[in-house]
Amino acid sequence: MNIEKYDEIRASLPAGVRLVAVSKFKPAEDIAALYQHGQRVFGENHAQEMKAKHEVLPQDIEWHFIGHLQTNKVKYIAPYVSLIHSIDSLDLLKEVNKQAVKNNRVIPCLLQFHIADEETKFGFTLDECTAMLDSAEFQELKNVKIHGVMGMATFTDDQGQVRREFHHLHDIFDTLKTRYFSQNPDFKELSMGMTDDYPIAIEEGSTLIRIGSAIFGPRNYSV
């Protein structure tokens, strides 16, 4: 783990930008060490892994779910998750609402948009999303609250392209804010920026950067 890099990133954040420390694939001990150092917001992308870590780590950690979420896994995170960044369908949102009702809570969510020039990244198009927001079914969901949008830029060295994609996500945010969420003060989050592109994301208006490898080191996916 690179505490110096962590401190450097924290010190560089403008007011209004929060850091999600992405701890996926990393052991609970690493999270505990960063917690000791003052970090409270952690991001995971597997529901069972998040559940296992939640059970053994301090209860005041804010757990953010950032990866693709299958409907049958929502139950593992619904009791405690602070923010789900990756809502990409009405079916998923309905399941989150259902599990939120069971747990007698309201779950904050972000709408994930497909902004990258890659087939593999999940997310809505603007048309898909507005169709959902206009639907009667969406209006009925009382136990989810939409706090903003999330997106991942293309994995490329072309910084101009990355900037355009983040700019596009900011435009989507503004459009939705005006059309659907002008009366919702909680709709204020723009989750964008990872280890390789977070400085550009911040320049383009990010409020939540999601940083993993710069802090925790490279991930070993084979473990």
What residue spans of the chain are helical by DSSP H?
3-12, 28-36, 47-56, 90-102, 126-134, 136-139, 159-179, 198-203, 213-216
Q: Which is nearer to ligand PLP, 110 or 141 (CB)?
A: 110
- Total of chain residues touching ligand PLP, rule CB under 6 A: 14
Find the helix or strand (DSSP H, E) in which 12 lies: helix 3-12
Identify how many contiguous H helices and E strands the chain contains and give both numbers.
9, 8
Candidate segments 70-78, 95-103, 154-162, 193-201, binder of ligand PLP by CB under 6 A: 193-201
Work out how close the CB of 182 gets to ligand PLP at its nearest, in angstroms, rounded to a whole number. Answer: 28
Q: Does 194 bind ligand PLP (CB under 6 A)?
A: yes
- Contact status: 19 vs ligand PLP (CB under 6 A): no
| Residue nearest to ligand PLP according to CB distances in the complex | 212
Reduced DSSP (H G I as helix, E B as strand, rest coil) percent helix, strand, coil of the chain, to 5: 40, 20, 40
Which DSSP string corresponds to 198-216? HHHHHHTT-SEEEE-HHHH
> Which one, 24 or 53, has the nearer CB to ligand PLP?
24
Which span sits near ligand PLP by CB under 6 A: 10-18, 33-41, 101-109, 212-220? 212-220
Footprint on this chain of ligand PLP (rule: CB under 6 A): 22, 24, 45, 66-67, 152, 194-196, 210-214
